[in-house]
Every structure is written in C-alpha cells, then in structure tokens.
Structure 1
C-alpha cells in the first residue's frame, strides 16, 4: 500500500550520497508524510534519526559537501546540514528504539519512518490510515502538553494539508489551549504566519480563535474580527478580479526577508485592536518586524478615509504619501468594511498607474535646489515648501521648475 510513496522518498532525491549515512538510519516526519501524499517541494526539508553519532554524522556530511553546519541542540544531539536546495536535520534517536522515538511525536501522520537502505516504511501508529482519511490524530495529549506549540501546529498543518482534526484531538487541544501562553512569541508567530498566507488558513485561524489558541497572544481578537477575516478574503477576490495587478501586489511579500504578504497584513489587522497605537504594542510583543507593524497600523489608520466620496486632490496626495506600499492593504480593508468598490476605483487606478501625478508625483525641485534658488538656510521650512509645491503641482497650478521657484518665493514673502 506504500508503493506510490517509495518513488518520492527514494534516496536518488537526496542532496547527498546515501552511502555516507550509517545503518540503520530513518527518514521521519513531514518528508515521509508528504511523500505518501505525493506532495512535492522545490526545497527539500529532510529529517533523519540515528541510534548514535548523529552530530558526528552531520559534521561528516557537511565537510564532505562543503555545506553549512549548525548544531541545533548539543544535549539532544541534533544538527543541521544546509545544502543549496535542501535542509537536512540529523537527530539522535530518543528512547531505546525507533518506535519509542515515533511515539513521542505530535500526530500519527508525522510518526511514520522510512529506511532508505531497505526501502521499508515503519508505521506503528497507523499514520498511513489517517493520511488516507485526511485526519490529524494526536498520539497522546501528554505529547501535546510537552510542547504546547504543537497545538497551534496542528491547525497550521490541517490548513496546509487540507486535513481535519480528529474529534478527540480537538477536545484535548481546547483543554490544553491555555498552555500556549508559555510558548515563545516568535514560535507562535511563525505558525500563524503560514496560516496567514493562504485561504484555507483563514478558516483555521477562526477555528483556532474559537478553541482558545489565540487568547494568549491576541487579547483583542473578537468574533467580529474573525468575521472580518472572511470579508477580507472575499474583498481580495473581488479586487483581484477587477484589477489583476492589485491582486499581484496583495500576494507580494512585505519584504524579501519577511514572509508575510500584504493580504496577510490585512488579515493580521483583523486580529488586533482597531486602535493603531494599541495594535502596535500587541504586534511588537509578538516580535513582528517594523515593516509588518507599520503595514498593519498604517492600514488601520487610513482605511476609514477611503469611505469619503470625492476626496480633494490635496487629501489624495497626503493619503498616497502616507500609505505608500500599504495602499493595496488599505483599500482591501476598506472594501472589507463595506466601502463601495466603485467609490475607491479612481484611487486604485491612480495607484496602479506609475505615471499618475497624484499617487506617484515627480518632484519639480529638490530641497537643495530650493535652498540655492531662494538663498535660504536648510530648515523645516524647506520641507514645508516642497510639500506645498507638490500639492500645487497635483492641483495643476504649476507645472515647471521655474513656476515652482516663483510659487515658493510667494510662499515665503
């Protein structure tokens, strides 16, 4: 029954020669589960366990291939070897034998082992049956209690795999939910981050809130906020169908080093306080980056303004200047909060047009040019003049550098 999984689990797919690993060695965890499911990844994440010499073996592998080496846990003997297209974790077996190790894991679908030397699959907890049922079943509530992050990880994996939770498992998770407060904020944030990235994750974020998993970190999350998560999803579909380019923007990462997209920022805004100052405190405690925090707080501050009809050009200018790259998220929140798409269509069209003089103005003068032309010292006055020149340009009152200088002279008289 495991035949379909064997090809994807084949050592031919490993980034190293299998002969460099001692016998016995076992591939475990997500790689085995995904192999059985037929899920393929461009970047491999392989976890092996050895009865002994785990760190020594990892060092040998890293040295042979000139790959990166990281000692993850000296006491438990866990090390990582980093290849260009794969990460290989090698851990010392916990317990007297393989089955003891597998029984210490979180869910049955993650407690299947594969011996690459013999092509044997070891499945003492019937994880394969649960994979076929598309079900996450805990091995024991004690295992979840030992590392409470596993509670949130269950919801994240259910979202990513398209699985459901076994009833008994969900009951146990609800009972253990208060323990999540003991987990480091950044570990919790990482799990939530995966759920913010795609549509299935949204339903599981709501279920996590209902089951008490968000209480320790999102004290201001409410039922209404969860309802807005669904409205954000619906608004994203509507806006993406009307403006494909806006949909592309919403799915871009906030930064290359930050794996949250702008759609995720809008969802995050639904879980925190609607007051930007309070939201900033919450997100700082959760160790979000400055870029992510600014994205949420800016969108929360600005989206109510998009509900105004016939916004003057001066106000539009300031809106775009303050929103910057957060404008797609801001418009998404506005639509989720019942702003008519037709009402903000002109603003979206401006944002998507790189040559639009209101959303993306080209300055007629620099600060240095104003200082030289007017013979004035560097001061906040220069910044104020630049702003007024930009607004006059947006409103069509000036169009050339010469007109800008003359306009600035009038302002300082």
Structure 2
C-alpha cells in the first residue's frame, strides 16, 4: 500500500477527486507508489490545504503548473500533486496527457478504472504509445519523457509514436533547461541507462541536449582501445552501473556493502553519488575530440591533457543544463582526476607519500573517482587489456582501505598549526609556506615524523635543501 494514497483517501473522501497518471500506472506494473497525482473537480487550493492540515505537512502552489498545488508528507516521505481538471470531465482531461499508460484514472474513493485509451492494455503489452497526435506538439519535453519511460519502466515505444517523437524532437530546444535536466538525469539514473541514451540518440535528442556526447562518435583511439570514444564512454557507463549493483564482485566482498551505501548517499539535484558517478562516466572523456594527437602516419598517439580540458567542458555542459554548483563541481573533479589511479600503476608498490599525494589531489571525490577509474579500466578493451585491467584492479583493491578511510574523514591530525610552524622556522606567509605545510603533512602521513619537534627539524632541513 501507499502511505500517500491512504492519507489522500482519508482527507479527501468527500471531494470529487481522481487518482491519475503515474500512481495508477505504477500500481498496475507492481511498482511502489510514493508520490501521487490527483485531479480535482473543484477548488484545488482548498483541497490541498485541507490535505496538508490533515497530515501535518506543508502545501504550496507549483509555479510551473497552472493551478496545481503540492502537499509534502511528514519527514518528506512522500508528496501529492493536486491539479485542476482540464476540460469538461475526467475523460477530456485524460485525452490531454502524453502516453496511454499515463492516461488512466481511478476515483480516489475507489471504483473501476477510467481508461478510454486502453492504457492498461498497453501496460500488459509493455507498449508505450502516445495518446493523440497532439501529444508531442503540445509539449516537446514529452519526446525526452518517451526515452525516460522506456528505460525506467521497460516499455517499448510503438513505431508511430517513435516517428512522431522524431518529428518533434527539435522542439526540445524551446524547453527550459531545468525541465530537460530533470528528465535527463532520470534517464541516467535508470536501470537501463545506456538503452535510454541510445533511444535519445535515435530520436534526435542527444544532438540537441548533449551534442558533445554525439561528437564522440567515430573518434578513434590508440591500439589499446578497440572502441571509438563514444562506444567506450557507454561501456564505462555500463561498468559504473555494474559496480553500483554489486561493488563487492569487483572490489572484494569486504568493501561491497560500504561502497554500495556510499553510492546511495544523496549528493545534489535529487541525485545520489552513484548517479553523479554515472554522469562522470558520460563526461570523463568529453574533451578527447579536441585533444586527439596523431602521428605523421595518421596513427592516434593519445589525447594529452584531455582530463584538464574535460573538467572545463564538463562544467560548461552542466551549467548549460542548470545543474547546481555542487553537482557541477563534483562531476568536473571526476573528469579532472579520472586518470590519476592509472598513473600510480607505474609506481607499484605505492609508498605512503605517493598515496598521500593521490588522496590530497583527488579530495573530496577520492572514492568516487577511484570507482570511475576502475570502470574506465574495465571498459578498455584492446591490446594487452586483460593484463592491464588485472594490474589496475589489484592496485585499486590494495589502496581501497586507505581511500575509504580518507573519504570517511579518518585522517591524521595536523602535527602542529601552520602559524606555529611558520614562526618556528621564521617563514612568512606565501607560496613557500604552503609547499612546506604540504611536505610536513606528507611526512607525517608516511610516519617519517611524529612530534612537533620532529616537524620543525624536518621543515628546516627541507627549507635548507631548497636554499631558504
């Protein structure tokens, strides 16, 4: 049962109200129902306030929907959206909806389904079908919702609906970026994210929403890759999804539960760290077309500094999509640092100083970017790939205890305050002091020093060696 539905039925049993859309659809699909949509034949504002008073939660008007209100349940456990009836009756209201599976209603008090477009039949057939030919012209965002529903619900769009969606895909450019990102992030978060992205490309949406991703098609890589950059990117996304599903299978069962819980943590823009990691997978190589380096004979040599430029491009893309600063910064750091773990492969066994440098440079996305690096390596198939992958995974497993501890905030306390150290060695604030503090911190992490006196002696020796 649904707590939201129970609350609505108890509070609004005397109103002319219908349960519509996703709640009816999801119940027929056997999915959980947390958020519900209601159509009210009457005073929506009064109904919303009455419901809010009954459950002890807030009620407020939705600015982007004419006449609609939202009620939030206690502890934000659920939400109910109430909208005024469009047209002269519930059947006319349903005719204005996007897909038949969403054009089903049920009296809130209970009763037979109102299903004039056979949405229930389409659910049984796992079919996604537009209600009328006006569905996409009325709101071009519905083209993206087609991809989202297909990958979230496992429904197959019927051919006429696909054709109509392609025709109206250019209209997505007129839709507010916030609405586009709200749908796009759900595609990325879905169980069939790669299928959703492929459907977006087929509909002509990707070229308009994320042209940088489309630009990866056909970009060749070196002999250590047997996919172009685009297909490699989707393979990295698949590898991230697999890590989310069962991190222990790749990284060791002793880490599986903790990493799964970490990836389930809320991050920003209603996304978890796991979904943000999926965005990182999509965008980590986004600057490769601009940085491709070829030999005189045309052979691809590599993509120098694509990690640095990629961080900039990633931030620009997420800014265009109106993502929050928290998400922009987080995903840009994933792009910037996704190569660092691979660099450490050449320095095994990794000593404490190199480990400390990795932890500091990748902070605060140390564990996130380590997981992205693992997925990137798993998706890299080509010359000597099996050997390289095994070495990379061995290194990740070896460093994971320290990485997890660092991400959890389990770090050595500073051996002494920076101002105290500066005074002890007679150094004024400036770049040299910053370098010195990093050196002392690294020496402390590597257990080369353990007392303030040793820190001062180490600092003096370090300064003397550099002529200070």
**Is the pair's TM-score, using the shorter chain for normalization, greater than 0.5?**
yes
From 226, 230, 234, give the equivalent of 1:225: 230
Task: Determine the structure 1 residue equivalent to 2:141.
Answer: 149
Counterpart CA distance in 2 for 1:271 and 1:92 is 46
CA 1:229 to 1:199, structure 2 compared with 1: closer, same or farther past 3 Å? farther
Q: Does 1:324 align with 2:363?
A: yes
SS at match of 2:358: helix
Question: Shift of the alpha carbon at 1:118?
Answer: 4.9
Q: State whether residues 272 and 282 of structure 1, in contact with CA within 8 Å, keep that contact through their aligned partners in structure 2.
A: no
Structure-to-structure mapping, 1:73-222, within 5 angstroms: 76-84=66-74, 85-222=77-214
CA 1:93 to 1:235, structure 2 compared with 1: closer, same or farther past 3 Å? closer
Question: Shift of the alpha carbon at 1:137?
Answer: 0.6
Task: Determine the structure 2 residue equivalent to 1:3.
Answer: none
Q: Does 1:346 align with 2:354?
A: no
SS at match of 2:212: coil
Segment drifting more, 288-297 vs 133-142 = 288-297
Task: Determine the structure 2 residue equivalent to 1:48.
Answer: 38
Question: Shift of the alpha carbon at 1:205?
Answer: 1.5
From 32, 44, 50, give the equivalent of 2:24: 32
Q: Extract unaligned runs of 5+ from structure 2.
A: 218-228, 289-309, 381-387
CA 1:198 to 1:250, structure 2 compared with 1: closer, same or farther past 3 Å? farther
From 302, 307, 320, give the equivalent of 2:337: 302
Q: State whether residues 265 and 329 of structure 1, in contact with CA within 8 Å, keep that contact through their aligned partners in structure 2.
A: no
Question: Shift of the alpha carbon at 1:48?
Answer: 1.4
Normalising to structure 2: TM-score of the pair? Answer: 0.77
Q: Does 1:385 align with 2:436?
A: yes
Task: Determine the structure 1 residue equivalent to 2:297.
Answer: none
CA 1:264 to 1:95, structure 2 compared with 1: closer, same or farther past 3 Å? same
Q: Does 1:411 align with 2:462?
A: yes
Question: Shift of the alpha carbon at 1:139?
Answer: 0.8
Q: Does 1:282 align with 2:317?
A: yes
Counterpart CA distance in 1 for 2:207 and 2:334 is 23
**CA-to-aligned-CA distance 1:19-58 (integer Å, 9 cap, x gap):** 63444321111011111122123xx212111222222222
How many residue pairs get matched?
401
Normalising to structure 1: TM-score of the pair? Answer: 0.86
CA 1:45 to 1:180, structure 2 compared with 1: closer, same or farther past 3 Å? same
Counterpart CA distance in 1 for 2:89 and 2:410 is 64
Q: Extract unaligned runs of 5+ from structure 1.
A: 1-7
**CA-to-aligned-CA distance 1:200-252 (integer Å, 9 cap, x gap):** 12221222123221222212113433542233323663664132436426623
Q: State whether residues 337 and 362 of structure 2, in contact with CA within 8 Å, keep that contact through their aligned partners in structure 1.
A: yes
